[in-house]
Amino acid sequence: MLSNNSKAPDFTLYSPDNKEVKLSDYKGRKVLLVFYPADFSPVCGDQLALYNEMQNIFEEHDTQVLGISVDSRWCHLGYKESRNLDIMLLADFEPKGKVSKLYEVYDEEEGTARRGLYLLDEEGTIKWSYLSPIDENPGADGILEALESMEGATSK
């Protein structure tokens, strides 16, 4: 994975409604990048449902959540509708895994993103990251601790 305190590479991906989304669009806000293997898989479903339920907490921390997998925007659209997800899902579909590779979370053998988290500050610097075992939901404790730590550092 990319190292903490390094600049997060900018990227452009598409949302399920075919809107172009750039990481740089979120400059001035914290961003949580959630790389995950696939829509409609059990662990991913639990992980994304948790983050969806926590949207108000992420908003309190002025943090935008971006879920990224190699699935197509059409797959994301069906997934969002079936799971009632409000979080932004982005398609790292073509060229397949380009952004996942850029963030060093692409699994060449499986052809999917690994379960990686990156928390970026308002300037797009990586402040926290975590690579979870593929079959394990990383939950949100580490994310919340990192957000609180970031806010504590800026208030000093």
**CA–CA dist 138, 156 (Å, integer):** 29
Q: How far apart are CA 128 and CA 36, in angstroms?
A: 17
| Lookup: tokens for 115 | 């379960």
Alpha helices in the chain (DSSP H): 42-53, 55-60, 73-83, 98-102, 141-154
Catalytic residue at 75?
no
Of the listed 23, 44, 113, 126, which one is catalytic? 44
Burial 102-127 (b: 16+ CB within 10 A, else e): ebebbeeeeebbbbbbbbbbeebebb
Is the CB of residue 124 less than 8 Å from the CB of residue 27? yes
Catalytic residue positions?
Answer: 44
